[in-house]
Structure 1
Amino acid sequence: MSFTWPLDPQDLFVERYPQMTLGLPAAEVDAVRAAVTDMWADRPGGWVYEWSALAARHAGAGRHRQAAQAYGWAKFPSLADAPKRTALARQVEQYLLASPGFPVDVERRTLTVPHRGGEAAVPVHLMAAPGLPADAPVVLASGGVDSWKTDLHGMWEQLALALPVRLLLFDLAGTGETSHLPMTPDGGTEVIEGLIAFARTLGDGRVGHFGISMGGYYSARTGLTGAVDAAVVLGGPVEHSFDPDRGFDFGMDGIVGNALGFDAAPDRAALGRAFGSFGLRPLLDRDDQAPMLVVNGADDVHVPRHDTLVFAGRRDTRVELIPDTGHCAISRFDEAMALIVPWLRTALLG
């Protein structure tokens, strides 16, 4: 189930330009920005068309990593139609072609996990520094509703090279290669619990969970329940983000609506009812959590400060709001990683 919705593509460039230029030259991003006039049309001037044309040029020149980055923007922000799904398939193809040149080892697997009384297939990437011992701890890691495991390769690579852990990278239910499963509090968590069970068989049994944006909702959940041994929440919504009267910026209403499994654009009331069921207040009222690190930018337009500061004062919990930056501290990401890497090392390795 999916749908398209009215969305000005230039709004996405305004918000995401710093991310786009992390993996692609600014001149190339600027050229696509100047060419795009429509979000959904699969023709010259269309978002997916122009980004895919850039990706195809990189692929033809053997620059597979850049091609994967460009196809990643082609399918952004949601798999709302067939051209977007084609772009995702091409992104995965180019990523795997690029992987032999990475400074980390990447293994792609499809795991079978329990889901609502049956089973579900979940493609994952296992990433580690070369020569990592087989008994190293495992860290589950995911992005959010619109930035997925393959999109965030640079971040994962940095983490894998900095820590003696194996990363298990996945897409949340309702997103990316797991978009065949709707995003729900219980179903999405059930998928992750299946991944945690698998992760405990991989190394020495110790498992951490690093979630970014909506992925931070799920890492907050596994941290609060003690399902993992350590949890990092970066820009995660946990409570006030799910208030029924909240607004959505930069097309997030359509992005979230697609992830939740709507087949037509929901009105604000319907979206609020569906999203409102995610709040973690019952878990926040408990005290059986794992050690947690909760980080965000102080000026986030998507996640209110409360959803970070609500963790202040909890046992085994460190809370950091980074000033002068927004959602997931993306413009000051090196500072965020300077907190996350040593914290995870201590939490999982002592």
Structure 2
Amino acid sequence: MNDVAELKQYVGVHARAQGIPPAQYEPLLDQVSHDDDGPGSWVAEWSRAAERLERDGRLLEACRYYNMARFPYVDGQPRRDALARCVTVFDRWRRENSPIQRLDLDLPQGRLGCWTVGLDPAQPRPVLLVMGGIVSVKEQWAPLLLRARALGMAGLVTEMPGVGENAARYDTDSPRMLSHVLDALRDRGVDATQAYAMTLSFSGHLALRRAPDDPRLRGVILAGAPVHAFFTDREWQRALPRITVDTLGHLTGEKPADAVERMRGWAIDPSALRAIDVPVHALVSRRDEIIPPQDAQMLRRHVRRLRTRTNDDVHGSPNHVAESGLWLVLSLLRMRRVDPRQQASLRWRLTAMRARGVLASGGG
């Protein structure tokens, strides 16, 4: 079982990223008293709210609540059922409201479930690969595919090993999954030689490790990615939230007490970072409680084509969701060197948002 206080603390970033405002989820959290089975449990209260939304035909909102019910990972039948409902309800929503398509890929690690948009053999397009972190499923990020389509790209969203429907083990070979996905897309209506990775949280580590070895990756966008110190700084690791350590143990198949220690060899050394010859844009949270500040510093020292944006926020920048979304799209446009007028518009909107935030906080 998870610590309910931690669940309530860390669910905020994922709720806000999906457009669930505090006014909706905070009263629900007040009804949660434990993480076992039955009424008052984390899964039961989120699932009950999801069922109401589903009955009302508010399918995308229901999907988001089922996602929160299975958060942070499947540890038994109740969360397994919530994940299944999350996927099923999203499938219903996308069939009725979007061009998003289901695609299952048979990779060396096993079958991988994906949501896609813009796959067209008659007109192969550059592809945007989207992946969340260790606690977020593909349905959470799938609406980003509509942005890719609007930008004239194909798009694919999937999950890290061990997350959601991806049953593969999270291990030292996991970065190769990105290349295996591109291999599988080669004859499926995308230009897999022009791939851009929007990899959020821990999936950013996979992209950084793979970028020097796969020339098809033309750019990498990160948000709160572990790089080096996360894996090597024992003092930092001792202060990590239990929910992070438990999740890493679940995904790697290790005991939580051993999981982070056995990941020490996953640290990316400076020479590997210097070998990255594509643009890397990184979103950094100044008060990140999961990713140590040394990791952003290491990117700045060793990645040659780096842009960063720093928010005065905690991991995932939950108080800067709108700004971060604009910045991610702007990063993609900059990497592809397209649509200068839209780039200028996004830069203006970001500047205006940042100025309003400074004024609201009394910063002058």
Q: Is the 8 A contact 1:297 1:325 kept in 2?
A: yes
Structure 1 315/133 Cα, relative in aligned 2: closer, same or farther at 3 Å?
Answer: farther
Q: Does 1:173 align with 2:161?
A: yes
Q: Does 1:33 align with 2:23?
A: no
Q: What SS class does the counterpart of residue 312 from structure 1 fall into? A: helix
Quote the residue 1:134 is aligned against: 123
Q: Does 1:107 align with 2:101?
A: yes
1:251 aligns with one of 240, 243, 253 = 243
Q: Is the 8 A contact 2:176 2:210 kept in 1?
A: no
Q: Is the 8 A contact 2:178 2:207 kept in 1?
A: no
Please show how residues 77-226 of structure 1 align to structure 2 within 5 Å. Answer: 77-102=72-97, 104-115=98-109, 120-128=110-118, 134-154=123-143, 156-157=144-145, 159-160=147-148, 162-178=150-166, 180-186=167-173, 188-201=174-187, 202-204=189-191, 205-226=193-214
TM-score by length of 2: 0.83
- List alignment gaps of at least 5 residues for structure 1: none
Q: Is the 8 A contact 1:221 1:283 kept in 2?
A: no
Q: What SS class does the counterpart of residue 116 from structure 2 fall into? A: strand
Q: Does 1:73 align with 2:73?
A: no
| Structure 1 residue 173, shift from structure 2 partner | 0.7
Q: Is the 8 A contact 1:141 1:210 kept in 2?
A: yes
Q: Is the 8 A contact 1:235 1:327 kept in 2?
A: yes
CA deviation profile, 1:155-183 (whole Å, cap 9, x unmatched): x15632552211111111111110x2110
Q: What SS class does the counterpart of residue 39 from structure 2 fall into? A: coil
| Structure 1 residue 252, shift from structure 2 partner | 1.1
Q: Does 1:261 align with 2:250?
A: no
Quote the residue 1:299 is aligned against: 287
CA distance in 2 between partners of 1:54 and 1:136 (Å): 39
TM-score by length of 1: 0.86
Q: Which amino acid aligns with 2:298?
A: V
CA distance in 2 between partners of 1:315 and 1:153 (Å): 29
| Structure 1 residue 256, shift from structure 2 partner | 1.0
Structure 1 151/285 Cα, relative in aligned 2: closer, same or farther at 3 Å?
Answer: closer
- Which runs of 4 or more aligned residues in structure 1 lie more than 6 Å from their structure 2 counterparts after TM superposition? none
| Structure 1 residue 211, shift from structure 2 partner | 0.5
CA distance in 2 between partners of 1:345 and 1:199 (Å): 22
CA distance in 2 between partners of 1:135 and 1:346 (Å): 21
- List alignment gaps of at least 5 residues for structure 2: 339-364
Q: Is the 8 A contact 2:102 2:116 kept in 1?
A: yes
| Structure 1 residue 72, shift from structure 2 partner | 0.2
Structure 1 26/175 Cα, relative in aligned 2: closer, same or farther at 3 Å?
Answer: same
Structure 1 257/315 Cα, relative in aligned 2: closer, same or farther at 3 Å?
Answer: closer
Over aligned residues, Cα RMSD in angstroms? Answer: 2.5
Q: Does 1:54 align with 2:46?
A: no
Q: With CA pairs under 8 Å and 6+ residues apart, which has the higher RCO, 1 or 2?
A: 1
| Structure 1 residue 28, shift from structure 2 partner | 3.7
Structure 1 199/234 Cα, relative in aligned 2: closer, same or farther at 3 Å?
Answer: farther
CA distance in 2 between partners of 1:330 and 1:141 (Å): 19
CA deviation profile, 1:9-51 (whole Å, cap 9, x unmatched): 1322223225324433544412321111112x12001111111
| Structure 1 residue 320, shift from structure 2 partner | 1.4
Q: Is the 8 A contact 2:145 2:157 kept in 1?
A: no
Q: Is the 8 A contact 1:114 1:190 kept in 2?
A: no
CA distance in 2 between partners of 1:184 and 1:192 (Å): 14
Q: Does 1:327 align with 2:319?
A: no
State how many pairs are aligned: 331
Q: Is the 8 A contact 2:248 2:260 kept in 1?
A: no
Q: What SS class does the counterpart of residue 13 from structure 1 fall into? A: helix
Q: Which amino acid aligns with 1:257?
A: G
CA distance in 1 between partners of 2:49 and 2:15 (Å): 13
1:15 aligns with one of 3, 7, 10 = 10
Q: Which amino acid aligns with 1:203?
A: V
Q: Which amino acid aligns with 1:342?
A: L
Q: Which amino acid aligns with 1:238?
A: V
Q: What SS class does the counterpart of residue 128 from structure 2 fall into? A: strand
Range 324-333 or range 209-218, more displaced? 324-333
Identity across the alignment (%): 21
Q: Which amino acid aligns with 2:250?
A: N
Q: Which amino acid aligns with 2:156?
A: L
Q: What SS class does the counterpart of residue 291 from structure 2 fall into? A: coil
Structure 1 209/133 Cα, relative in aligned 2: closer, same or farther at 3 Å?
Answer: farther
